[in-house]
C-alpha cells in the first residue's frame, strides 16, 4: 500500500465464526469420484460425517477445555473479511489513475500477495 498523507488507505478486518457445515458437506459430496457417487458406502459416510459435524458444532460446545482456553470447545470455521478503502473526495488522480483504478490495482496486489502466502481469497 502506498503510504499517503491525504486520503490514506484503510484496512478493516471482520472475523465471523460459522457453525453451519452444510457448505462443507456439499463440497465433500461433490468431491466424490463419479463411480462412488450414490453408493451405499458413500451415502452412509456422508450421513455419518454430517451427524458428527452437527454434534461437534452444537450450541454450548461439545465439551469444556479446562486445560488451555477454559472455554467450551465447538466445531466451527472462521471466515475473515478484509475491507480496503480510502476517502478520495475531490483529490486529483495519482499516477494517472482514477480512485477506482487505484483500488483495483491495490486489490490485485493484495490478492496476489495472499495467494503467494497460501491464503485463499476472493474479491467480493
Contact 17, 93 (CB under 8 A): no
Spell out the long-range contacts of 86-89 with Cβ–Cβ below 8 A and sequence spacing 24 or more: 86/4, 86/7, 86/8, 86/9, 86/10, 87/7, 88/7, 89/7
Domain ranges of the chain: 1-17+78-124, 20-75
Q: Which residue has the higher pLDDT, 118 or 6?
A: 118
Structure confidence at residue 51 (pLDDT): 94
Structure confidence at residue 91 (pLDDT): 66
Q: For the chain, how far is it from start to end, CA to CA, in angstroms?
A: 19
Per-residue pLDDT reduced to its tens digit, 28-71: 999 999 999 999 999 999 999 999 999 999 888 889 999 999 98
d(CA 76, CA 91): 44
Contact 123, 111 (CB under 8 A): yes
Q: Using pLDDT thresholds of 50, 70 and 90, give the confidence band for residue 99.
A: confident
Amino acid at each position: 500500500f502506498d503510504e499517503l498523507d491525504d486520503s490514506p488507505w484503510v484496512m478493516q478486518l471482520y472475523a465471523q465464526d460459522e457453525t453451519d457445515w452444510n457448505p462443507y458437506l456439499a463440497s465433500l459430496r461433490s468431491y466424490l469420484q463419479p463411480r462412488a457417487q450414490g453408493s451405499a458406502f458413500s451415502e452412509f459416510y456422508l450421513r455419518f460425517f454430517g451427524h458428527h459435524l452437527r454434534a461437534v458444532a452444537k450450541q454450548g460446545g461439545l465439551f469444556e477445555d479446562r486445560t488451555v482456553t477454559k472455554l467450551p470447545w465447538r466445531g466451527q470455521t472462521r471466515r475473515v473479511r478484509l475491507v480496503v478503502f480510502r476517502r478520495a473526495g475531490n483529490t486529483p488522480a495519482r499516477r494517472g489513475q482514477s480512485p477506482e483504478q487505484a483500488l483495483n490495482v491495490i486489490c490485485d496486489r493484495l490478492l496476489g500477495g495472499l495467494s503467494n502466502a497460501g491464503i485463499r481469497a476472493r474479491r467480493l
